[in-house]
């Protein structure tokens, strides 16, 4: 694994927090790099699965009245776990997000 792979793995997590990019960052990295680097593929897939889980949580919370009040909890959880995953990717590790549906295998 080279430094470019590590950078792409880090970006696959960090870009998920950028407003307007969200899930598109990890998706593009996954689609472009999935056949080139297993490290980048695994990190991008974990980030993508977690962001899909977060979107599903937001939809469920939006439907319920009390859920609208809990959006900030999900936002904080998302931010903290993405930071942890970014740190792990910078240490050449793949972080498996807790509470994440594994939709993309």
19-77 pLDDT, tens digit each: 888 899 999 999 999 999 999 999 999 999 999 999 999 999 888 877 778 889 999 99
- pLDDT by residue (tens digit) across 66-81? 777 888 999 999 999 9
Of all helices (H) and strands (E), which one includes residue 92?
Answer: none
pTM across the whole model: 0.91
């Amino acid at each position: 694994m080279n430094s470019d792979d590590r950078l792409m793995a880090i970006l696959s997590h960090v870009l998920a927090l950028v407003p307007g990019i969200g899930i598109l960052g990890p998706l593009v990295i996954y689609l472009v790099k999935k056949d080139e680097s297993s490290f980048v593929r695994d990190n991008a897939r974990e980030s993508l699965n977690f962001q899909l889980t977060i979107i599903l949580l937001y939809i469920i919370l939006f439907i319920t009245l009390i859920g609208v009040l809990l959006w900030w909890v999900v936002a904080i959880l998302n931010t903290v776990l993405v930071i942890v995953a970014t740190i792990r990717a910078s240490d050449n590790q793949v972080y498996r997000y807790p509470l994440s549906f594994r939709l993309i295998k």
